[in-house]
Amino acid sequence: MKHLLTLRDLAADDLSAMLALAEADPAPVLAGKGAALYFEKPSARTRNSMELAVHQLGGHPVYLTPAELGISTRESVEDIARTLACYHGVIAARVFDHGVLEQLAAASPVPVVNLLSGTDHPLQGLADLLTIRQLMGRIEGVKVAYVGDGDNNVARSLAQGCAALGAELTIVAPEGYQLSDAPAGVAQTADLGAVAGADIVYSDVFVSMGQDGEAERRMADLAAYQVDEALMARTPDAWFLHCLPARRGEEVTAGVIDGPRSAVWRQAENRMHSARGALMWLLQQD
């Protein structure tokens, strides 16, 4: 049984196949079936993109909350996985603890998809790769600069995807904010000069969900890594990407994210297309 918990588990051919399916006509791989969408964290893009992707594939999405499932309190993860598989063709979950996804996958007879965990965000990574390919006409050899907090789930999935498909990723972040388990081939530096020559400049919030207690320290540590017009001028032909939600005036200025070199709305739309491609790939496996 194939699952999608992290991009690290996928070969380059698998990633390429998902990206091709993201732009292909939808196949009714979920016709007459449900898709269990379990959310421990709220999300505008993840819920909307997944529900529409499931619908486009002929399925019926069912939104589930912790109060409804009672994972590890009212019922074991394994029993919940087996129960949901009685009704659904796929189980997708947005969780705090990546281990919950691993437990679901170990017990589930249907594919399990990571909608975000504390360590990985594979569907965002796929959407990023799809957007880069659309903007640049290729992925291999594209120079990507990820600026700011580089030790998070978004940066990790992007790094895994870039390493697999040959994009040249540099994480530009101060010490303590660089990716702790960067794949081979991913460069890391605190020098903002590394942005020069990039084809893509990528940023994310400085304070993510659940980090409010660290906000003052993180804002001070990362203030110099705001993507503003001066930073983008170092590589004037680059496109700007952001996984959203964004905080204008913190990690990025309004002039950049709302400017002519921003592709964040194409990137957001691609969350739906890449989710559809991933589901088609999983459900078409022998």
SS3 143: strand
Tokens of 109: 């007879």
How far apart (Å, rounded) are the C-alpha atoms in residues 258 and 94?
Answer: 28
Q: Which regions of the chain are under pLDDT 70? A: 286
pLDDT reported for residue 275: 98
**In angstroms, how far is CA 20 from the centroid of its own chain?**
17
Q: Name the E strands within 22-69.
A: 34-39, 60-64
Selection from 93, 79, 81, 91 nearest residue 35 by Cα: 91
How far apart (Å, rounded) are the C-alpha atoms in residues 148 and 204?
Answer: 7
Backbone torsions φ then ψ of 219, nearest 5 degrees = -65, -40
Torsion angle (degrees, nearest 10) of CA 177, 139, 226, 249: -120
How far apart (Å, rounded) are the C-alpha atoms in residues 143 and 162?
Answer: 10
Please give, one letter per residue, the 3-state secondary structure of 129-148: HHHHHHHHCCCCCCEEEEEC
Whether the CB-CB separation of 227 and 235 falls below 8 Å is answered with: no
- Find tokens 């903002």 and name the residue: 192
Tokens of 201: 């400049």
SS3 110: coil
Residue count of the chain: 286
Q: Name the E strands within the chain.
A: 34-39, 60-64, 88-94, 112-116, 143-147, 168-172, 187-189, 200-203, 239-242
CB-based contacts of 187: which residues, under 8 Å, 6+ apart?
A: 168, 169, 170, 171, 194
Q: What angle do CA 249, 188, 208 make, to 5 degrees?
A: 40
